[in-house]
């Protein structure tokens, strides 16, 4: 996947968590709300777990969306 310099400068990166535990960069956006909305939209085609990374603070949140039993948003690494 080609990542433009412009995408890398956007503060919020949306990743799809792969079955092997690695992250696949999907898109970079301007705001956290845009990132959450993008993960929700993508979940219609690819349900599962998405990670939103804030480039400025290093914060990561995981969002489990789509055809899953429980839709939830949790800090990355949090135990349920």
Q: Write down the domain spans for the chain.
A: 5-75
Q: Any bridge partners for residue 27, and if so which?
A: 14
Q: What is the pTM of this model?
A: 0.72
The maximal CA–CA distance of the chain, rounded, in angstroms, is 37
Distance CA 37, CA 33 (A): 6
Residue 79: CB atoms within 10 A of its CB come to 4
- Inter-residue contact 30 to 11 (CB < 8 Å): yes
pLDDT tens string 24-78: 999 999 999 999 999 999 999 999 999 999 988 999 999 998 775 444 555 555 5
What pLDDT does residue 4 have?
52
What pLDDT does residue 71 have?
46
């Amino acid at each position: 996947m080609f990542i433009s310099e412009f995408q890398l400068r956007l503060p919020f990166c949306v990743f799809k968590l792969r079955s092997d535990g690695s992250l696949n960069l999907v898109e970079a956006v301007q705001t956290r709300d845009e990132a959450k909305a993008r993960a929700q939209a993508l979940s219609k085609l690819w349900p599962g777990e998405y990670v939103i990374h804030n480039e400025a603070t290093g914060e990561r949140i995981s969002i489990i969306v789509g055809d899953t039993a429980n839709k939830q948003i949790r800090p990355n690494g949090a135990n349920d």
